Structure 1
Amino acid sequence: MSATERVVQSILYELGCVMIGWSVMQFVPHEGQPLALMVIFSLLAMVWNFVFNWIFDKLVPGDRLARGPVIRTVHAVLFEGLFMLATVPIIMYMMHMSFWMAFVTDITMTLVILGYTYVYNWVYDRARLLFVEA
């Protein structure tokens, strides 16, 4: 996958994440601006998505379409779990939340995004056959 395609993949993914994260934040008591938080998370995640997927592809070479449920689950859990290490303190600061509330909020968003990540990458790989490799 080229660098340009990785940028497109990241932007499409992050647009979905911003919308999903903002929606989740509507159900959480907060004092900050959830849309601003989601845009910041999106920018951080785009960089992380590029770096993480580059490393993951080097460690798990081969046909991306041949990746089964186990590999895709490992991919999604690692991506979101490592990203969460950075996001809890940001939620605490920007949303004026305690550590516990920020942690629960982040876990909730992470679980929702985890399902989205799994489905997004599966669909993207198949759509790639039609638009990129054709």
Structure 2
Amino acid sequence: MSTSERVVQSVLYELGCILIGCLVMQFVPHEGQPFVLMVIFSLLAMVWNFVFNWIFDKLVPGDRLARGPIIRTVHAVLFEGLFMIATVPIIMYMMQMTFWMAFMTDISMTLAILGYTYVYNWVYDRARLYFVEA
């Protein structure tokens, strides 16, 4: 996958994540601007998405379409788990939450985005056949 393809993949993915994050924040008591938080997370995550997927592709070479449920689950859990380490303190600060509330909020967003990550990458890999490799 080329660098420009990775940029497109990341931007499309993050637009969905912003929507999901804003929806989750509607159910959490907070102060601050959830949309601003989600845009910051999105920018951080785009960089992380690029770096993580580049490393993951080097460690798990081969046909991306041949990746089964186990590899895709490992990919999603690693990506979100490592990203979550950085996001809890940001939520605490920007939304004026306790550690526990920020952690639970991040877990909620992570679980929602975890499923989205799995489905998004599966769909993207198949759509890529039609738009990029055709």
Bin of the TM-score, shorter chain as denominator length: over 0.9
What is the CA-CA distance between 1:109 and the residue it aligns to? Answer: 0.3
User: Alpha carbon RMSD of aligned pairs, Å?
Assistant: 0.2
In the comparison of the two structures, how many residue pairs are matched?
Answer: 134
What is the CA-CA distance between 1:46 and the residue it aligns to? Answer: 0.1
What is the CA-CA distance between 1:99 and the residue it aligns to? Answer: 0.0
1:106 alignment partner, SS class: helix
Q: In 1, distance between residues paired with 2:32 and 2:117?
A: 26
> TM-score scaled to structure 2, two decimals?
1.00
1:27 alignment partner, SS class: coil
Q: In 2, distance between residues paired with 1:111 and 1:24?
A: 10
Q: Any residues of structure 2 matched to 1:17-36 within 5 Å, and which?
A: 17-36=17-36
Q: In 2, distance between residues paired with 1:63 and 1:130?
A: 16
Q: In 1, distance between residues paired with 2:80 and 2:31?
A: 25
What CA deviation, in whole Å up to 9, does each residue of 1:64-119 have, x standing for no partner?
00000000000000000000000000000000000000000000000000000000
User: Which residue of the partner structure matches residue 43 of structure 2?
Assistant: 43
Q: In 2, distance between residues paired with 1:32 and 1:95?
A: 5
Gaps of 5+ in 1: none
What CA deviation, in whole Å up to 9, does each residue of 1:23-73 have, x standing for no partner?
100110000100000000000000000000000000000000000000000
Q: In 2, distance between residues paired with 1:81 and 1:35?
A: 22
Q: In 2, distance between residues paired with 1:23 and 1:73?
A: 23
Gaps of 5+ in 2: none
Q: Aligned AA for 1:19?
A: L
Q: In 2, distance between residues paired with 1:85 and 1:94?
A: 16
Q: In 2, distance between residues paired with 1:111 and 1:20?
A: 11
**Runs of 4+ in structure 1 over 2 Å off:** none
User: Which residue of the partner structure matches residue 104 of structure 1?
Assistant: 104
Does 1:2 find its partner at 2:2?
yes
User: Which residue of the partner structure matches residue 122 of structure 1?
Assistant: 122
